[in-house]
Amino acid sequence: MNSLDELRALSRPRKGPPCGMAAVHLQGDDWETLQVGLADPAITAKALMAWLAKRGFTVSFWTIARHRRGECACKS
Ligand SMILES: [Zn+2]
């Protein structure tokens, strides 16, 4: 790897364990609502956590926040 590749590699988030959001499988309206919710800064991670819990998914707000920032293993 050349030095630019090295610099780019260091800029990428470190790969951690699989993201808790990767285990969330929703369909139809719920899936679309989740995408809109994740993209909307007015919707808090805690609100998303409660919303997901009602659908049977236990994801911490910390995991949701990290996923939103793209610092999880979902992003390559
Ligand atoms: Zn993620």
Q: 19-71: per-residue pLDDT in tens? A: 999 999 999 999 999 999 999 999 999 999 999 999 999 999 999 999 999 98
Residue 4 has pLDDT above 70, yes or no: yes
What is the C-alpha separation between 23 and 28, in angstroms, rounded? 16
CA 16, CA 5: separation in Å to the nearest integer? 21
Q: Distance from the CA of 17 to the center of ligand 1, in angstroms?
A: 10
Within a 10 A sphere around the Cβ of 20, how many other Cβ atoms? Answer: 18
More confident residue, 21 or 6: 21
| CB-CB contact of 21 with 64 (8 Å) | yes
Strands, E assignment, the chain: none
Could you tell me the distance, in angstroms and rounded to a whole number, from the CA of residue 5 to the centre of ligand 1? 24
Output the CA 24–ligand 1 centroid distance in Å. 10
6 Cα–ligand 1 center, Å: 24
Cα 53 to ligand 1 centre (Å) = 17
